A and B are shown apart, each in its own frame.
Chain A
């Protein structure tokens, strides 16, 4: 049974439909990417999953229907790093990290997770009292990922993590996501315009066009697909 299963999901903003019936699955331990041009419905699909936008159709997590409020999906183990990273800019780096563990009651395990995360990224500890809004874009993205890890998510949703970042930072970020997936079995659904990086990271991918799934398959196969190459990979 897949961890996440969307069946014919539709979503609209007021009168404007953004997603016209998407079906997709994500298995436990997988990295899946959602590709597509601007306006294809990638971000809306993530917002539909995490309960940020009203939906029709069926969304199942662990075989049970997903709550339709963001507070509820967070409680089921879905952590959504939204467009713009969702950093609480006026709070400190440390307060942002603590907010990642907001729903957890196991204080000792949270403390050891904090240790683990900050030993990998020592600057988080060195700059713990800095206002998070003053971090660079790349630092904010790393903080967003560190904060998401503190929630111990069963499914991590990443929206355009590469947006506005230098290629070297993107590489580091994706390397960290891959390592967390391999070592800790972190399950990820990632939305990307940078199709090259996303296909390299993920094992499977869905290509969205105007709110529908146009193509799906193993990432390796999609990279060889002529239409994908021409339209999205640029060679």
Chain B
């Protein structure tokens, strides 16, 4: 029982990271109708920025964390303005290729600036545990879950209850009708990319701390889990992305614990992708995918 609870908490912690990145993918998919393959690397760049602030400029963890979120927003905004927006007349495949190019470029850039060797960015809670009876709860996992849930809730409130959020949703749903109402749609899409960059920065910084050491390639496995989580939830559903991420994290952890012979750490990714294929075959719209209602 103790082991079960521990693994569920650890799974929720991992799952929160997938959820954050998956939600970033969903935001961009809804706004731009492409999968942003560079989303993980955007989070990786953010992580290196936080690392540099702390390791080279003497910042403490929390100010660096928050500052990095702000920089990431501007970075996401700038990427949409300079790379994605100029391609708006090109096909979706072109935009996908651009995000793949971005993935490689960002990775190279970081290796060039900060060297490809192993770095450390630990949250104040990394490695600690809380003991409740015989259960040892990993603090980092609880922290991952809380940070992601806070970010997701704030974002949800913004999208649901503010005028900016309404305009962001309107722009994603029907750009031309929104323009006729006076919305500066390209601007809105850039803001959407900015929010996605914040989510991937959160995922990156949490993942770096959860795995103790990181190198420029450290988000490339996480992004695959995030793809799986986003598709599990239904690519267009923000709630689905979060639920998908948490479900995936818990499932993988429990399978790894109770079938250690069959599902070694090396087997976790293949198992996650097998789950992904199963979902695609039996529920192409995802577990929480929406069927859009339209009347003409």
| Interface, chain A (partner B; CB < 8 A) | 50, 52, 69-71, 74-75, 79-80, 82, 84, 86-91, 95, 98-100, 102-103, 131, 133-137, 140, 147, 151, 164
Contact of A75 among B166, B182, B185 (CB under 8 A): B182
CB distance from B115 to the nearest CB of A (A): 45
Residues of A within 8 A of B295 (CB): 133-137, 140
Q: Which A-B residue pairs are the 5 nearest by beta carbons?
A: A74-B182, A86-B177, A70-B179, A103-B182, A80-B180
CB within 8 Å of A: which B131-183 residues:
163, 166-167, 169-170, 173-174, 176-183
Q: How many angstroms between the C-alpha atoms of A232 and B296 in the bound complex? A: 25
Instruction: Say whether A71 contacts B294, CB under 8 Å.
Output: no
Instruction: Say whether B166 contacts A70, CB under 8 Å.
Output: no
- Tell whether B293 is near chain A: CB-to-CB under 8 Å: yes
Q: How many angstroms between the C-alpha atoms of A103 and B292 in the bound complex? A: 28
Residues of A within 8 A of B169 (CB): 90-91, 95
Check A88/B184 contact, CB under 8 A, given A95-B166, A102-B163, A140-B295: no
Instruction: Say whether B170 contacts A88, CB under 8 Å.
Output: yes
CB distance from A145 to the nearest CB of B (A): 14
Residues of B within 8 A of A70 (CB): 176, 179-180
CB within 8 Å of A: which B43-63 residues:
none
Q: How many angstroms between the C-alpha atoms of A52 and B179 in the bound complex? A: 9
Q: How many angstroms between the C-alpha atoms of A177 and B114 in the bound complex? A: 65
Given contacts A88-B173, A103-B182, A133-B294, 11 further A-B contacts (CB under 8 A): A50-B180, A52-B179, A52-B180, A71-B179, A71-B185, A90-B169, A90-B173, A95-B166, A95-B170, A99-B166, A99-B181
Instruction: Say whether A99 contacts B178, CB under 8 Å.
Output: yes
Instruction: Say whether B174 contacts A89, CB under 8 Å.
Output: yes
Most buried by A among B173, B176, B181, B294: B181
Instruction: Say whether A88 contacts B296, CB under 8 Å.
Output: no
Q: How many angstroms between the C-alpha atoms of A147 and B170 in the bound complex? A: 14
Check A84/B179 contact, CB under 8 A, given A98-B166, A99-B166, A102-B163: no
CB distance from A100 to the nearest CB of B (A): 7
CB distance from B171 to the nearest CB of A (A): 10
Residues of B within 8 A of A86 (CB): 174, 176-177, 180
Contact of A84 among B166, B173, B182, B296 (CB under 8 A): B296
Residues of B within 8 A of A74 (CB): 179-182
Interface flags, B261-296, vs A, CB<8A=1, else 0:
000000000000000000000000000000011111
Residues of B within 8 A of A88 (CB): 170, 173-174, 177-178
CB-CB nearest in chain B for A95: B166
CB distance from A96 to the nearest CB of B (A): 9
CB distance from B163 to the nearest CB of A (A): 7
Q: How many angstroms between the C-alpha atoms of A131 and B182 in the bound complex? A: 22
Q: How many angstroms between the C-alpha atoms of A164 and B295 in the bound complex? A: 11
Residues of A within 8 A of B293 (CB): 89, 131, 133-134
Check A91/B177 contact, CB under 8 A, given A75-B182, A134-B293: no
CB distance from B90 to the nearest CB of A (A): 15
Instruction: Give me 5 A-to-B residue pairs in the complex whose CB atoms sit less than 8 angstroms apart, sorted by A's number.
Output: A71-B179, A102-B163, A103-B181, A133-B294, A151-B181
CB distance from A13 to the nearest CB of B (A): 13
CB distance from A77 to the nearest CB of B (A): 10
Residues of A within 8 A of B292 (CB): 89-90, 133
Instruction: Say whether A52 contacts B176, CB under 8 Å.
Output: yes
Contact of A71 among B163, B174, B183, B296 (CB under 8 A): B183
CB within 8 Å of A: which B163-220 residues:
163, 166-167, 169-170, 173-174, 176-185
Instruction: Say whether B166 contacts A82, CB under 8 Å.
Output: no
CB-CB nearest in chain B for A82: B180
Instruction: Say whether B173 contacts A82, CB under 8 Å.
Output: no
Residues of A within 8 A of B166 (CB): 91, 95, 98-99
Q: How many angstroms between the C-alpha atoms of A74 and B163 in the bound complex? A: 17
CB distance from B39 to the nearest CB of A (A): 23
CB-CB nearest in chain B for A87: B177
Q: How many angstroms between the C-alpha atoms of A156 and B33 in the bound complex? A: 32
Residues of B within 8 A of A164 (CB): 296
Instruction: Say whether B183 contacts A82, CB under 8 Å.
Output: no
CB-CB nearest in chain B for A103: B182
CB-CB nearest in chain B for A98: B166
Q: How many angstroms between the C-alpha atoms of A90 and B167 in the bound complex? A: 13
CB distance from B170 to the nearest CB of A (A): 5
Q: How many angstroms between the C-alpha atoms of A103 and B183 in the bound complex? A: 8
Q: How many angstroms between the C-alpha atoms of A86 and B185 in the bound complex? A: 15
CB-CB nearest in chain B for A81: B180
Residues of A within 8 A of B167 (CB): 99, 102
